[in-house]
Amino acid sequence: MSLHDNIKNIREEQNLKQIEVANHINVDKSAYSKIEKGGRALTVDELQKMAQLFNMSTDQIINYDGKMPKEVVIEDKTAVEQMRLIQQLEDEDKQTIFKLIDKMLTNKKFKDFFAKNVAAL
């Protein structure tokens, strides 16, 4: 399969119209139609925007095998794999996760401290 076939198949699986993808990647519908037919090359920027729309990585689009990616469930992963997945997120999302973790750790330390000191009374 070629990249243009992959793009067309993914778009159809996600029930998107050509015009929707064209608008998202900032090209007109005829230019997008040429992309799907292999008559126009795709820029890196366009591929990245397409990946964002499809909720896939550019690598998943390029190497598409007819199966949409499965939902990632982070709790089933090892700690190293969890960190690797978190590192793939946008900076703002990473910061949100780290703030949540910091808050939870602070709450745990407070609860542990409180339980230890109340028990000593």
Range(s) of the domain holding residue 92: 74-120
Quote the radius of gyration of the chain (alpha carbons, Å). Answer: 22
Stated as kind and residue range, the H or E segment containing 51 is helix 44-54
| Predicted pLDDT of residue 47 | 94
Residue 20 lies in a domain: yes
Residue 63's SS3 state is coil
User: What pLDDT, on a 0 to 100 scale, did the predictor assign at position 106?
Assistant: 93
pLDDT digits (tens, 9 = 90+) for 31-85: 999 999 999 999 999 999 999 999 888 888 988 887 765 556 677 778 888 888 8
Residues 81 and 43 in one domain: no
Q: How many domains does the chain have?
A: 2
Three-state DSSP class for residue 56: coil
Q: Cα dihedral angle (65, 71, 76, 80), rounded to 10 degrees?
A: 70
Contact yes or no for 81/70 (Cβ under 8 A): no
For residues 121 and 26, the model is more confident at 26
Q: Are residues 58 and 79 in the same domain?
A: no
User: What's the pLDDT at 32?
Assistant: 96
Is 57 within a domain?
yes
69 within a domain of the structure (yes/no):
no
Q: Kindly tell me if the per-residue pLDDT of 102 is higher than 70.
A: yes
> Is the domain of 55 the same as that of 101?
no
How do residues 14-45 score in pLDDT, each as one tens digit?
A: 999 999 999 999 999 999 999 999 999 999 99
